[in-house]
């Protein structure tokens, strides 16, 4: 299984993004576009399915990329799961597994686009998480007691039985956890009981490059670490502010680039100055992100932040927790021993098909390709896939999510607008939360940090600090 955002620039250029492709973009009328979509390793049963979130951007004579709001959509060969003015969610039309393909037509109001606009079509593979009861916490707190638990017993998980208010307290019917959680959790908060979609894979470096390349110069500066007004060979790797791809973050620009206009970014893992070669790490998970970077990407893609409770649902499903268990459904983890085809679209762990395989324990020393633990014959235990088929929820990079506490309870199921403010920041969720946490550990993590229920609000995990780390990455929801 592999994943990455797909980008197609209108007209005529096809860019393959691992196994999700968007091709044959055609302007069928002044107010419609049609295109073909295909991806591998898809599935549909009576209960479970994967999907793809498709959205578009346009650029007119202003030179600024903007989100394309839609007025309608039709599909052939797919089911239109959900329609929004911000995009469409599509899935397999018939039960089965394997490659799925079809076509999509989207409609829009062309009156405000100006003459001869350019279009870009993006896609992100998702997994559907069905509505239903589940457990949070696993009875293991590793001495911190921040994990969710039943109110009267720190060693028992809490059962999220319905979509109503969850009372916080010290009885058997209450939820409890350290970390400033004393107010009842409202029904409007994304607890994980209600259905949602989650990104199948962590954000890749190519996806982040595509995002950067639709921003203004001012916005690009906010979402990178180097001083873009003074790019040289010493800082052209812009997420690590260095002259080499630190911890395999290969996002770079030319060393003579200037931000008097938007800069074109690319991947260059082999550090030879040639953009986007086949071994340049485009599909490696994107690390060194701040939570504000994550919010900006989610705003731009019309997604939303995941909560720590939703993370547990996506990882464990409805099963009763085992203390210290991982996303593969067991307490077994085996570190990646090395890489085959490093930096390439088929990069894969050297010890592929090993039970409990996870990129953790710092054996690899860095993130690897999203989906790089699985091949066509891998089982859930061997690939690290979750109950629902979400990949790398334990290990590789840590997913930054909303920390459920008293200050986050005004957060609701609100999606990004598709647009950033002029400074490059998200605005949709202003004031909805002040703290975040990391879930799933990362390539450097020990066993406790990669467990499903591990929940630790480190002291500097708040939105007032621009805090980044080589293990920090992104997985969003819709």
Q: How far is CA 135 from CA 18, 158, 294, 411, 453, in A?
A: 34, 6, 27, 21, 10
Q: In whole angstroms, what is the distance from residue 249 CA to residue 313 CA?
A: 30
CB crowding 15-43: b at 16 or more within 10 Å, else e: bebbbbbbbebeeeeeebbbbbbbbbbbb
**Which residues fall within 8 angstroms of residue 376, CB to CB, at 6 or more apart?**
none
320 vs 266: CA distance, rounded Å: 44
The pLDDT value given to residue 7: 39
- Please tell me the predicted confidence (pLDDT) of residue 362: 85
Query: What's the predicted TM-score (pTM) here?
Result: 0.95
Walk along the chain (478 residues) and give the pLDDT tens digit of each residue: 333 333 343 333 333 334 899 999 999 999 999 999 999 999 999 999 999 999 999 999 999 999 999 999 999 999 999 999 999 999 999 999 999 999 999 999 999 899 899 999 999 999 999 999 999 999 987 776 799 999 999 999 999 999 999 999 999 999 999 878 999 999 999 999 999 999 999 999 999 999 999 999 999 999 999 999 999 999 999 999 999 999 999 999 999 999 999 999 999 999 999 999 999 999 999 999 999 999 999 999 999 999 999 999 999 999 999 999 999 999 999 999 999 999 999 999 999 999 999 999 988 899 999 999 999 899 999 999 999 999 999 999 999 999 999 999 999 999 999 999 999 999 999 989 888 899 999 999 887 889 999 987 755 566 766 678 899 999 999 9
Segment (H or E) for 210: helix 205-212
| pLDDT of amino acid 434 | 82
Instruction: Give the Cα separation of 311 and 401 in Å (integer).
Output: 8
Task: Identify the CA nearest to 37 among candidates 72, 73, 85, 71.
Answer: 73
Classified as helix, coil or strand, 185 is strand
Q: Which of 456, 330, 473 is nearest to 398 (CA)?
A: 473
Half-sphere exposure of 76 (CA within 13 A, CB side): 5
Burial of 188: CB neighbours in 10 Å, binned 0-12, 13-18, 19+:
middle
């Amino acid at each position: 299984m592999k994943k990455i955002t797909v980008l197609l620039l209108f007209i005529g250029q096809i860019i393959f993004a691992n196994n999700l492709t968007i091709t044959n973009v055609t302007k069928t009328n002044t107010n419609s576009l049609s295109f073909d979509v295909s991806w591998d390793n898809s599935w549909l049963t009576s209960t479970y399915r994967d999907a793809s979130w498709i959205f578009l951007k346009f650029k007119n004579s202003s030179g600024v990329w903007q989100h394309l709001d839609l007025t309608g959509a039709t599909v052939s060969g797919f089911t239109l799961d959900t329609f929004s003015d911000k995009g469409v969610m599509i899935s397999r039309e018939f039960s089965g597994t394997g490659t799925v393909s079809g076509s999509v037509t989207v409609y829009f109001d062309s009156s405000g686009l100006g003459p001869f606009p350019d279009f870009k079509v993006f896609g992100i593979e998702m997994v559907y998480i069905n509505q239903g009861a589940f457990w949070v916490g696993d009875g293991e707190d590793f001495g911190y007691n921040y994990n969710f638990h039943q109110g009267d017993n720190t060693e028992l998980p809490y059962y999220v039985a319905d979509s109503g208010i969850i009372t916080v307290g010290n009885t058997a019917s209450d939820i409890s956890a350290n970390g400033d959680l004393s107010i009842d959790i409202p029904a409007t908060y994304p607890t994980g009981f209600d259905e949602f979609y989650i990104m199948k894979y962590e954000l890749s470096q190519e996806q982040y490059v595509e995002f950067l390349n639709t921003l203004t110069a001012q916005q690009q500066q906010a979402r990178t670490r180097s001083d873009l007004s003074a790019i040289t060979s010493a800082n052209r790797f812009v997420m690590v502010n260095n002259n080499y791809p630190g911890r395999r973050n290969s996002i770079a620009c030319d060393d003579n680039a200037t931000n008097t206009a938007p800069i074109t970014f690319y991947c260059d893992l082999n550090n030879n100055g040639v953009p986007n070669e086949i071994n340049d790490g485009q599909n490696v998970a994107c690390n060194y992100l701040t939570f504000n970077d994550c919010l900006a990407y989610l705003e731009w893609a019309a997604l939303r932040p995941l909560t720590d409770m939703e993370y547990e649902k996506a990882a464990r499903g409805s099963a009763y927790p085992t203390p210290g268990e991982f996303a593969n459904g067991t307490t077994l983890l085996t570190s990646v021993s090395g890489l085959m085809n490093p930096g390439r679209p088929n990069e894969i762990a050297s010890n592929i098909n090993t039970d409990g395989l996870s990129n953790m324990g710092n054996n690899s020393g860095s993130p690897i390709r999203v989906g790089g633990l699985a091949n066509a014959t891998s089982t859930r235990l061997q690939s690290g896939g979750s109950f629902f088929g979400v990949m790398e929820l334990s290990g590789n990079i840590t997913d930054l999510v909303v920390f459920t506490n008293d200050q986050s309870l005004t957060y609701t199921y609100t999606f990004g607008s598709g647009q950033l403010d002029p400074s490059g920041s998200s605005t949709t969720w202003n004031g909805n939360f002040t703290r975040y946490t990391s879930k799933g550990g990362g390539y450097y993590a020990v066993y406790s940090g990669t467990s499903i229920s591990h929940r630790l609000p480190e002291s500097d995990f708040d939105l007032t600090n621009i805090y980044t780390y080589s293990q920090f990455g992104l997985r969003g929801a819709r």
